[in-house]
Amino acid sequence: MTILGFILLALAALPAILAVINLKTLRATPQHRPASDTLVSILIPARNEGANIGPALEAALASTGVPVEILVMDDGSTDETAAIVGTYARRDARVRLLTAPPLASGWTGKVHACHHLSEAAAGTHFLFMDADVRLAPHAAAALAGHAQSGNAKLVSAVPRQVMRSLGELLIVPTINFLLVGYLPMRLMRRSPDPGLGAACGQLVLVEREAYRAAGGHAAIRSLLHDGIQLARLFRRKGIMTDLMPGDGLASCRMYARFGDAWAGFAKNAHEGMATPAGLPIWTVLLLGGHVLPFGLLVMTPTLPILLAALVSLSTRAIVTVATRENPLSIPLHPFTMLVGLAIQWSVLLRIGGKRRAGWKGRLYPVG
């Protein structure tokens, strides 16, 4: 049991060390003003987002530090989404309402909408964002300035994740925890390896010419996990990508219920962790470093196991505070990791016989 305890301690210590290094790296990211000729096109795909689109537009229209245009693609909404956007468009010439053409064969919905948004945009930079994202006034300028200051032509950030229900707290915190605890960000900024490409689809800024040179969303038309796939596409084309701290740039409440959160994370699983080669490794890392120490602590409270549990919980606390997430997620940490693994395994094993991923009333073949 002592040997097992030291193994679990090592598995818990790995993300702890990486999280400290990554957070220091992210917080040292300098701020740059965009060039005077910059225009940021804020591009929002929207399908039945009547409850979200108004606040999203209000926040985007408050952008400072760079001129913006805001294009919303109504993608077959059956609610009041188009009417709300139309009202804003009549009040402010920076807002334009577009109607998505019928979904073409071989395309996924959001990727299809983003592709057509990019074709209609006039900006030097495209800022793709979800309708449930609320931009801070300086966000568009900060992202564009960072893209212009270095060699990264795709810059993404994870908005501050707003979580209120137990279901959200059990699933959503995995986003920041996995990024901060397991992605070597210093190496990411030095190496063009596509495997190090990472982005949050909620908030992605691209430089127009680099986006077109890489092939844009048309090159990932059949895929669902648009953020990470776009970053990997850029890197395959030799174009660097980067991440910025996002908690001060935007906020987002992705889901209000456990079932919605489960479905949302399951949708992207096949293009993330849920692969035959990758998921067993992730299971060892997450189960060993963040679940087993707490279970074994009750039965055999040895010092290495106690230390493993403390290190794991401390890492969760550090990431939570740094990203300004709900602190109630901290004591739920082992359960969050367990639920996250359950989602991935249910998708990989196709529990329930599902061979399609569903989202916003559409079904897509996976696996």
76 with 204, same domain: the answer is: yes
Identify the residue with better confidence: 263 or 42.
42
Cα maximum dimension of the chain: 69
CATH of the domain at 248: 3.90.550.10
285 with 145, same domain: the answer is: no
Q: Alpha-carbon distance 155 to 201, whole Å?
A: 11
* Range(s) of the domain holding residue 112: 31-253
146 with 293, same domain: the answer is: no
Q: How many helices (H) and strands (E) does the chain have?
A: 15, 12
Assigned domain for 353 exists: no
**Beta bridge mates, 40:** 68, 125
The whole-number pLDDT of residue 77 equals: 94
Contact 261, 171 (CB under 8 A): yes
Assigned domain for 167 exists: yes
- Total domains, the chain: 2
274 with 214, same domain: the answer is: no
161 with 184, same domain: the answer is: yes
98 with 186, same domain: the answer is: yes
Assigned domain for 355 exists: no
Assigned domain for 360 exists: no
249 with 279, same domain: the answer is: no
**Beta bridge mates, 257:** none
Assigned domain for 73 exists: yes
The whole-number pLDDT of residue 319 equals: 98
Assigned domain for 264 exists: yes
The whole-number pLDDT of residue 96 equals: 98
209 with 304, same domain: the answer is: no
Q: Alpha-carbon distance 358 to 119, whole Å?
A: 26
pLDDT, one tens digit per residue, over 338-367 is: 999 999 999 888 855 555 555 566 655 555
Instruction: Identify the weakest region by mean pLDDT among 11-25, 222-236, 320-334.
Output: 222-236
Contact 204, 156 (CB under 8 A): yes
157 with 278, same domain: the answer is: no
Assigned domain for 242 exists: yes
The whole-number pLDDT of residue 206 equals: 98
Cβ contacts of 346 within 8 Å, gap of 6 or more: 266, 352
Assigned domain for 41 exists: yes
Query: Residue 346 — φ and ψ, nearest 5°?
Result: -65, -35
166 with 302, same domain: the answer is: no
13 with 129, same domain: the answer is: no
Which of 216, 231, 253 is the last residue before a domain boundary? 253
Q: Mean of the per-residue pLDDT values for the chain?
A: 93
Which of 222, 253, 284 is the last residue before a domain boundary? 253
The whole-number pLDDT of residue 356 equals: 54
245 with 287, same domain: the answer is: no
Instruction: Identify the weakest region by mean pLDDT among 9-13, 164-168, 212-216, 258-262.
Output: 258-262
Percent residues over pLDDT 90 in the chain = 82
